[in-house]
Amino acid sequence: MRHGITEHVIKSKKPLFLHGDNKEMLVELNIRYSRYPAASWLGVPMMMGSHVLGVIAVQDYDDPNAFTDEHVVYLQSIANEAAIAVVNAQLYKELEYEKKYFESLVMNFPIAVIAVNYDYNITIFNPSAEKLFGYSRQEAIGSNIDDIVGDASSMDEVIELTKEIDENGRVHINYEKKQ
The predicted structure's pLDDT at residue 164? 65
Is 50 exceeded by the pLDDT of residue 156? yes
| Percentage of the chain modeled with pLDDT above 70 | 82
The pLDDT value recorded for residue 154 is 58
> Model confidence over 20-74: pLDDT tens digits?
887 778 888 888 877 778 899 999 999 999 999 999 999 999 999 999 999 999 9
Q: Do 52 and 124 fall within a single domain?
A: no
With 0-12 / 13-18 / 19 or more C-beta atoms within 10 angstroms meaning exposed / middle / buried, residue 140 is buried
Q: Are residues 12 and 82 in the same domain?
A: yes
Three-state DSSP state, 61? coil
pLDDT band, very low/low/confident/very high, at 162 (cuts 50, 70, 90): low
Q: 109-113, 129-133, 159-163: lowest mean pLDDT where?
A: 159-163
Same domain, 122 and 83: no
Assess if residue 173 is contained within a domain. no
- Gap between the Cα atoms of 26 and 36, Å rounded: 14
Q: Are 159 and 139 in contact (CB under 8 A)?
A: no
Note the pLDDT of residue 4. Answer: 87
Per-residue pLDDT, averaged over 99-110, amounts to: 92
Q: Which residues on neighbouring strands pair with residue 17, listed in sequence order?
A: 42
Query: Residue 160 falls within a domain, yes or no?
Result: yes
In a domain, 49, yes or no: yes
Domain that holds residue 73: 5-89
Domain count, the chain: 2
pTM over 0.75: no
What average pLDDT does range 151-163 have in this prediction?
A: 61
CA dist list (Å): 157 to 11, 35, 151, 164, 169: 65, 82, 10, 11, 17
Measured distance CA(20)–CA(38) in Å, rounded: 8
Average pLDDT of the chain is 85
* CATH number of the domain where residue 107 is located: 3.30.450.20
Question: What residues does 122 pair with on adjacent strands?
Answer: 116
Among 16, 87, 7, 8, CA closest to 47: 87
Model pLDDT, residue 168: 63
- Indicate whether 76 belongs to any domain: yes
141 vs 162, residue with greater confidence:
141
Q: Is the pLDDT of residue 178 over 90?
A: no
CATH (domain of 34):
3.30.450.40
Alpha helix segments (H runs only) across the chain: 5-12, 23-28, 69-108, 127-133, 137-140, 145-149, 155-168
pLDDT category of residue 80 using cuts at 50, 70 and 90 = very high
